[in-house]
Structure 1
Amino acid sequence: MSETNKIGVIRDINGPIVTIELPGARSGEQVKIGELGLYGEILSLNGERAVVQTYESTDGVRPGEPVVGLGWPLSVELGPGLMGGIFDGVQRPLLKLALQSGDYIRRGLSVPALDRDKRWAFEPNAELEPGAKVGPGTVLGTVQETLTIEHRILVPPGIEGELEEIAPAGEYDIESTIARVRDHKGATHRLSLYQRWPVRKPRPYRRRDDGISPLITGQRVIDTFFPQLKGGKGAVPGPFGAGKTVVQQQIARWSNADIVIYVGCGERGNELVDVLETFPQLDDPYSGRKLMERTLLVANTSNMPVVAREASVYVGITMAEYYRDMGYDVVMLADSTSRWAEALREVSGRLGQMPVEEGYPAYLASRLAAVYERAGRVETFGAGSGSVTLIGAVSPPGGDFSEPVTSHTKDIIETFWALSKELADARHYPSIDWVTSFSGHVKTAAEWWHKEIDPDWERRRGAALALLARDAELSRIVNLVGPEALSDAQRWELEGASLIKEGVLQQSALDEIDTFCSPAKQYALLDLAITLYKRGEALVKLGVPVTELQRLPLLAKMRRIKSMYSSEQLEQIQAFRQEVDQAMEAIRIEYAKQGEAV
């Protein structure tokens, strides 16, 4: 149906919720509202009357102004030119909006996500010739989107048939025809370098696979203690000031995923400005080029329209699925899903829907699950295996993890990195609490660690966690009756746990040497801390006073060594291991001689 046939009128306005009359309207369809041309999405229909949520403020819009139905749902453009882009919650390119409108986006301003004028060097698939059978996911050719990322041009989902023609190698804009496919009904489909896809509809795949390798983030408390697999679902809950954004930025910067998508969903403007200013300056540790060559940013700050905030997560996950379909491993970071849930709550309230716990709509849990379930490792239709790893930050009010968003998220995800305000106040970063955090991927991750790093990894990790659990018990006793009530063996357990906390778990994002830690260095530090504790434990049993061990310079160096040597200087860490062995052996020999003399 043409736009001229689908012109309606505004009947009622309630904030971002607008009631319209539009003949032939469909649920989920996008519309343009009023003289300003504000974009919106139809939520419900009753005959020709529809309820629309708009992505921008409706201030100044009046009943009686026209409405135009666009004929398609909220969709994103998928094609060359996404990589390195900075978009708002409905995929408008912010840099282009700034050129047209300045620092404040003018309402109703519409700019396509992909540049229509830029030409791309297309290289057709040499194995395809006219007459070949093609289907969803078939690779028609490639475009070198950045020096880091090869963009594979795929047959869109829903199109299958005989290839009538394919364009030769050359430069094309994204709307140029690069192939024609005739389906079994005889209809011919013109394919270009880009496609559109509705954001609320998951992109199809052949089948879902189990994760097989960990997402390496360079953060020891994550990789070593609570690992995440590529294609996994994780959450970073924590109160204000606990460091959620820094944890997510560290993952975005250092993870070994092929593509990184960072969605700033309702966060403070100053935090997103920091991301937008620093990310383009960062170097990719894996390619040596700029990090933005494999990064996408979606920015929707807390002062931007609340409905666009709700859409931003869907926009991000759809773009992640698109690159997954090319066979890439994608990590998407959503900061934060609590702000996204608050947008759901506000819109549902204006719609008059029945609120349940803490005012959230009854469908909160199912919406959260539907978003997280779009993550996963899959076998694609034409490009092998790809994955989407989804990590959402959660901001529970007052740090209360029993509130609805956190509790529902905890039931859905597989990796839970709980941030502690007490650790953050003690300047222990990342402030991930090793008592309340968990990972369901340890057994699978252990297979990778045992093969690539050391077969003793899981046992060392278990010993460290057991010592930290023992530390929590002894700390309660100390708080009640003081350290004098503990035996030397128990006081050494506290010292050993302190070595793990300060020498392994603690890691500063601002430390040039320690901001990233390779898996080999992670294991070397963990093994060193456990070895130092075990050697000291044996000496305490021999009768060495714990105070003498606590005075050893080795303990202070153990706490500093992570920042002394980089991931390329493992020899120096091993040399310190030998120094520990020699010093502990000297003490053992001395006390053994004293025992013989007695």
Structure 2
Amino acid sequence: MSENVIYSINGPVITVKDATDFSMLEMVYVGNARLIGEVISINKGKTTIQVYESTTGLRPGEPVFSTGNPISLTLGPGILRNIFDGIERPLKEIEKESGAFIATGSAVAPLDEEQLWDVTLCVKPNEEVAGGTIYATVPETKLIEHKCMVPPYQQGKVTWVAPNGQYKINDVVMKFADAEGNEHECTLCQKWPIKNARPVKHRLPISIPLITGQRVVDTLFPIAKGGTAAVPGGFGTGKTMMQHQLAKWCDADIIVYVGCGERGNEMTQVLEEFQELIDPKSNCPLTDRTVLIANTSNMPVAAREASIYTGITLAEYYRDMGYHVAIMADSTSRWAEALREISGRLEEMPAEEGFPAYLPSRISQFYERAGYMETLNGQEGSVSIIGAVSPQGSDFSEPVTQNTKRFVRCFWALDKALAYARHYAAVNWTLSYSEYIPDLEKWYSKHVDPRFMRDRQEIASILAEETKLMEIVKLIGSDVLPDDQKLTIEIAKLIRVGYLQQNAFHPEDTYVPLEKQLKMMDVILHLNRRCKEAIAKNIPVSTIMQLGLFDKVVKMKYDVPNNNLALLDTYKDMIDKAMLTIQ
């Protein structure tokens, strides 16, 4: 039995008196049920522990056991296709043991320890290895080859290598001796503390976009691979829907989806949808490159904090193999609320709106773990973070939104009015911005067309001009505007409805390649130029509108299939012929 016993219990926070053998951020087992906890405060007379499981039924006097290690993840084959809770417990295995709800003290191994994997060894005896060296490969799924790497900060000379064959994750497949002669055994898995960022060789400049197939993102507010984006929006504005679309269609190799404090029915929808979806690039199930972390709102509040770090640690692990990983955190506001609740129970001095004073530093630590990196084994990989924010009452001035805005370079502000008008994605083009545009301009010019960024700038200018004009229209009506300004309003409406609005359920419109986005912009801007020429010849806007060109151009996103973009070139000829009839 442990000499350390529970002194007091306050929700997920417990205290131990006169303990001397605990260290900061150490993982401990609390009570006879051995609940997982973490040491978060130590002083001379009292140690404070936050428990990541329900403390219902826990009593003072029950023992607290030290482990000597921080809270860590088991990293190895079997992570993909899996569904974990916030502390990497596999929910499918727990369901077999205890049903739909997680039993307290559930001690299920994170990864299947009995499954045999086909292992190919990549090193030979007497070969020098160091942190990050790939010593074995495993076909984890049809899409992803798992690369077993020497843990960071270790190095030495290989002394023994197992033959190629089938092994379990805890079987030793390689041994190496360090400079002092100590022998280290390497299995197919390793442990890593979730609060520590995994080391890399270099942080590289960000210059490649994360292609999403969503026009408002790729055209107006692009995000880079290794970049950070926030998706703030009130209830019902489509944050989760947008993250689902990005997870399905973005060109990352691996998706880590973290449902942090979200409603159980939303996570159920994610789990069911992802199992049915086929990856468009490989025709394999999307789950072959996805890992889901479900920490719903009825799970213990302290585990929300862990779920965010669990997700980013898994993302970094696959980045170290040379993959591009996108992590969807839905939503960081629930994580911040968990911090606030724990802080309140610890009786810490509250800052703005009751959040702890260290909220900005915690948010920055999370987003700072994104980046485009050269890994320890010389490959290139990236972690892109897209975090949803749920401000109460759509108030973007609240602390979580404002502090997130400080640390991300891409801000997709969702608008309640657009969402209720069924405009998807409900990204407000006046409040949103992307600071990655100068970094990505060269890539767009080289790999798509130099016209892309010019067209984008022209589209953005028309939308900005419309915003100014609508202020005048609200005051005195649109009839007093000159024809050129009336045209601006009509073209902006065409851009909003025919370009920015996207149908996630339409087979041709749910994902749009960059080539089609460029051609659609070309058609809209060509119509704008021809209409301006007609107005310069004193032809009224009303006459131009009677041609029906605007209605036809709005529908081009549905009428032109993604595999026959040449049809878009015929739209310019149609516009030119129609304009000749009124001149």
TM value normalised by structure 2: 0.98
Report whether the alignment pairs 1:15 with 2:14: no
Listed as ranges, the matches of 1:132-281 within 5 Å are 132-281=127-276
Aligned to 1:392: 387
Aligned equivalent of 2:496? 501
Name the SS for the 1:123 alignment partner: strand
2:572 aligned with 1:555: no
Which residue number corresponds to residue 594 of structure 1? none
Distance 1:459 1:135 in 2: 47
SS for the counterpart of 2:119 is strand
Which residues of structure 2 form unaligned runs of 5+?
Answer: none
Contact 1:24 1:48 in 2 (8 A): no
1:300-319 paired onto structure 2 within 5 Å: 300-319=295-314
Moved more, 326-335 or 48-57: 48-57
Change (3 A) 1:123 1:7: farther
On the 8 A contact 1:503/1:525 being kept in 2, the answer is no
Moved over 4 A (4+): none
Distance in 1 (alpha carbons) for counterparts of 2:554 and 2:425? 16
2:533 and 2:417 map into 1 onto residues whose CA distance is 33
Asked whether 1:84 is paired with 2:81, we answer: yes
CA distance in 2 between counterparts of 1:56 and 1:64 reads 18
What SS class does the counterpart of residue 509 from structure 1 fall into? coil
Q: Is the 8 A contact 1:25 1:48 kept in 2?
A: no
Q: Deviation per CA, 1:524-569: give whole Å up to 9, x if none.
A: 1111111111111111111111011112222111111112222212
Secondary structure at the counterpart of residue 570 of structure 1: coil
The 8 Å contact of residues 138 and 383 in structure 1, kept in 2 or not, is answered as no
Q: Which amino acid in 2 is paired with 1:83?
A: L
Aligned pairs for 1:416-427 within 5 A: 416-427=411-422
Q: Distance in 1 between matches of 2:349 and 2:547?
A: 64
How far apart in 2 are the matches of 1:254 and 1:48? 53
How far residue 105 of structure 1 moved from its aligned partner, in angstroms, is 1.2
Distance 1:393 1:214 in 2: 20
Counterpart for residue 106 of structure 2: 109
Deviations 1:427-478 (A, max 9, x none): 1110001111111111222222211221111111111000000101111111
Letter in 2 for 1:107: T
1:275-315 superposed Cα distances (whole Å, 9 cap, x missing partner): 01110110101111110000010011111111001110000
Contact 1:136 1:160 survives alignment (8 Å):
yes
Corresponding position of 2:474:
479
Shift of 1:23: 4.5
1:357 aligns with 2:352: yes
The answer on whether the counterparts of 1:57 and 1:305 sit within 8 Å (CA) in structure 2 is yes
CA distance in 1, matches of 2:549, 2:441: 30
Partners in 2 of 1:176 and 1:44 — Cα distance?
37
Whether 1:376 aligns to 2:371 is yes
Does the alignment pair 1:567 with 2:545?
Answer: no
Is 1:412 the counterpart of 2:407? The answer is yes
SS of equivalent to 1:53: strand
Per the alignment, do residues 72 and 462 of structure 1 end up closer, same or farther by CA in structure 2, a change over 3 Å counting?
same
Deviations 1:17-52 (A, max 9, x none): 001244511111111111222111111122474111
- Letter of the aligned partner of 1:349 in structure 2? G
CA contact (8 A) 2:275 2:285 kept: yes
Partner of residue 99, structure 1: 96
- Alpha carbons 2:547, 2:578 under 8 Å: kept: no
Contact 1:55–1:305 (CA under 8 A) maintained in structure 2: yes
Matches of 1:526 and 1:581 in 2, distance apart? 16
Mark the runs of 5 or more structure 1 residues left unpaired by the alignment.
Answer: 592-598
Letter in 2 for 1:480: L
Counterpart in the other structure of 1:515: 510
Q: CA deviation at 1:355?
A: 0.4
Q: Which SS does the other structure have where 1:544 is aligned?
A: coil
Please report how far the alpha carbon of residue 7 of structure 1 lies from its aligned counterpart in structure 2 after TM superposition: 4.8
Shift of 1:70: 1.9
1:72 is paired with a residue whose SS is strand
The aligned amino acid for 2:108 is V
Q: Give the partner amino acid of 1:345.
A: R
> How far is the alpha carbon of 1:268 from its aligned partner?
1.2
Deviation, structure 1 residue 74: 1.0
Q: Aligned to 1:367, which of 339, 362, 370? A: 362
The structural deviation recorded for 1:213 is 0.8
- The answer to whether the 8 Å contact 1:12/1:63 transfers is yes
Partner of 1:339: 334
Partner residue of 1:56?
A: 53
* 2:376 counterpart SS class: coil
The amino acid of 2:326's aligned partner reads V
The SS at the match of 1:579 is: helix
Structure 2 residue identity aligned to 1:79:
G
Contact kept, 8 Å, 2:30 with 2:37, in 1: the verdict is: yes
Number of equivalenced pairs: 582
| Equivalent of 1:26 in 13, 23, 26 | 23
Say if 2:227 and 2:384, in contact at 8 Å, map to a contact too. yes
- Matched position secondary structure for 1:501: helix
User: Displacement of 1:107 after TM fit?
Assistant: 1.1
Question: What is the alpha-carbon distance in structure 2 between the residues aligned to residue 572 and residue 48 of structure 1?
Answer: 76
1:483 aligns to what SS in structure 2?
coil
Q: Distance in 2 between matches of 1:70 and 1:156?
A: 21
**Aligned equivalents of 1:467, 1:248: Cα separation in 2:** 28
Give identity over the alignment, percent: 46
- Asked if the contact 1:320–1:332 (Cα under 8 Å) also holds between the matched residues in 2, the reply is yes
1:68 aligns with 2:37: no
Does residue 1:297 correspond to 2:292, yes or no?
Answer: yes
- Determine if contact 1:520/1:567 at 8 Å carries over to the other structure: no
Q: Which residue of 2 aligns with 1:119?
A: 116
SS at match of 1:89: coil
CA contact (8 A) 1:180 1:188 kept: yes
Are the counterparts in 2 of residues 207 and 379 from structure 1 also a CA contact under 8 Å?
yes
1:489 aligns with 2:484: yes
Counterparts of 2:317 and 2:546 in 1: how far apart (Å)?
57
Q: Is the 8 A contact 2:129 2:157 kept in 1?
A: yes
Q: Are residues 7 and 563 of structure 1, via their aligned partners in 2, closer, same or farther at CA, if it must alter by over 3 Å?
A: farther
